[in-house]
Amino acid sequence: MMAKDIISLYSGGMDSTVALYRYADRVRLALSFDYGSKHNRIEIDHASRNCRRLGIEHRVIDMDLNRMGFVSDLLTSGGAIPAGRYDDDNMRSTVVPFRNGIMLSIAAGLAESMDCSRLMLSNHAGDHAIYPDCREEFVRHMGQAIASGTYNHVELFAPFTLLSKREIALIGRELGVPFEDTYSCYEGQEVHCGVCGTCTERKEALAGFDPTVYRIK
């Protein structure tokens, strides 16, 4: 039996859910952050259900970036979520400054406290142009900082860094991931809007086997 040595940063979205199912036998804790985004509440609801389904402990860290003065349209204090393509020009306003770095720092301390040897981050290649803290370079340098800053040399494990969202979706289909119990929409309503950048990307990734209900098809 494999040791449960992974703490997974788990949003409840498509990518982190596929990672959770793929490495479920190694995940000791799934860690979600309630950081004040428009879609946090519904994402975390989906995350909780998948963790119960897999028998994985789920913990939520409260961290309201709105009150700290962070600026992003993804946050409840920000402006409207842009519709259209998932690309740099369109989605830049949804960047939450250094979000993954902040979350990974907290998770690294928790991993050392729990004597877990790995942190799992589910960034992917489609994020690279938009989010600086999803790029391969960031993962490499952040991984070095985490390993050197923890007594048990915690490893940052980012298995999807070079994969497209379509490739991740195909892995999920093989694993039987319940995509209907994942959430992507940045608007944060009960039903996916179907037009924001993340909904557009989700539609393309799940083409041919998409169980998602969209407000606008």
Average pLDDT, the chain: 95
- Please report whether residue 214 resides in a domain: no
Is 103 within a domain?
yes
Label residue 43 by pLDDT band (50, 70, 90).
very high
Mean of the pLDDT values across residues 39-58? Answer: 98
pLDDT tens-digit map of 152-194: 999 999 999 999 999 999 999 999 999 999 999 999 999 999 9
Establish if 55 belongs to a structural domain: yes
Q: What is the pLDDT of residue 74?
A: 96
213 domain-assigned: no
Domains identified in the chain, total number = 1
Written as one string, the DSSP assignment of 30-63 is EEEEE-SBTTHHHHHHHHHHHHHHHT-EEEEEE-
Whether 102 has a pLDDT exceeding 80, the answer reads: yes
pLDDT value at residue 133? 94
The predicted structure's pLDDT at residue 88: 62
25: domain range?
A: 6-205
CATH number for 197: 3.40.50.620
Beta carbons of 33 and 59 less than 8 angstroms apart: no
Residue 215 inside a domain? The answer is: no
CA-wise closest residue to 119 among 5, 1, 3: 5
Q: Rounded mean pLDDT of 59-74?
A: 97
d(CA 126, CA 160): 10
Q: Indicate the pTM of the whole model.
A: 0.96
Report if residue 110 sits inside a domain: yes
What is the pLDDT, as a whole number, of residue 129? 73
- Does 186 reside within a domain? yes
